[in-house]
Structure 1
């Protein structure tokens, strides 16, 4: 066992972080992570309890230390009103109203929600239900769905949910692996138990998400970000366009987000863009807005649409 280089305060904070990272830890596992004896772990657990953190100890097979729901909010230097304000702000940020904070907000909210007393949680729910945001471009994600999925990913628990897709609504059972945020939209990479394959799900299309406590052994999974990126730029679209852009990939990726299309370098001065869409006219319009020349590779129908759009724009100029 390695000797701990952490002081008592730093060690307690590290212990708290470990307890929040997964449902159950054995005393031996915690001792190894902290570089101390199991007796020191027991003492540090008692210190956390004295500070108000509800750490439970289960004996026997499958037991260990667990961080449970608390009767009072642990000393985060927040009073009740401040805790409610933080939770509400995190929910808004998780929903995409604060650019760039979505993923961090969900992780933080999952930790705060774990110890937030029921009386404060109901206040947060009431405020969140009575708040709307002006965002007509991106469907909102219910904060409860975000939290339920985030906890299931963390705890490796199966989930069931209703899913609305263009082909209709269906009931799904899955093993959640990772959540991926792209722009202001959230996706879940999960193993679909009915289809026995990996699938991506948009969280704004998921409702009645349930986690019944059924744990699963993680499978060998694809790279979540890459899988979702390819799925959302190719799958489910009537048309997939391929164009050659007269600019290096390093320049193009500054303008074209990863959620829009797949970029592949074609030499030093050109880039291949693959992007899907339901309407060729919209694809042509977005391509025309790029600051570089481009050549349509496929589909052939897109060539005619681009020509038509070019002619219309030319007629609009006196």
Structure 2
């Protein structure tokens, strides 16, 4: 059974890294007969992987897109790249991406071997992240520890520096992580103060999980983000960006990737155009991304983005002499 399971994982890994495998070549790579290969493919299908087969002498197999995302098999290099990329996305400027990146990062780090964790930490230590919007830097390792404690309902101990500079040690029951206004907040029940609190993660030091589990308490708010907003002032609101770009949709997607929703909107004269929509808490990032497309664009919303584009344009014009 162990050999069969190991071979099935190997088969899955090969199918995920190659568009199409002739049956005989795939069987040779696995060291099995074509008949055994067919049984292994059927086993993958039973697990929910949509493996397509082409019959005949030159028949083969390939992994197709499914209705849901099945578990992925990644090698060491891919696992390190995923972790580093998620760390960067966790401090990005696009609303919603940061929080989902931290959740995914916590899952990956949980099962990552120590040698790969060291490689990720080494890469992070020698890499200077680019931050749009000027938010304070947060240690990705601390983000991961706090996210895991929230997920597992495990008490957390950490040092904390208040706004007035006072430093204290805290023991808390973590509830949720919230990204607001270019900052990360931990919503938790403070066991020393016997009340709910929100903590800025850039002021939090040396968090570590205590191993003590707890029964989650009921938060006195609709959700964690509402709780944080109720106790904070001057948090930038999220902006809904709507821009008409005079360039093909595929070209804009190539520059901006999946950070925005790109919809074709070709003109009546046959010109290729598209509409870019995204939600951000800093307008610097969408303007920077649009500048990289190399095409004219029209800001539909918000007015603040049009004003920022005007300021940037005047500044660049002066710089050009």
Using the size of structure 2 for normalisation, the TM-score is: 0.49
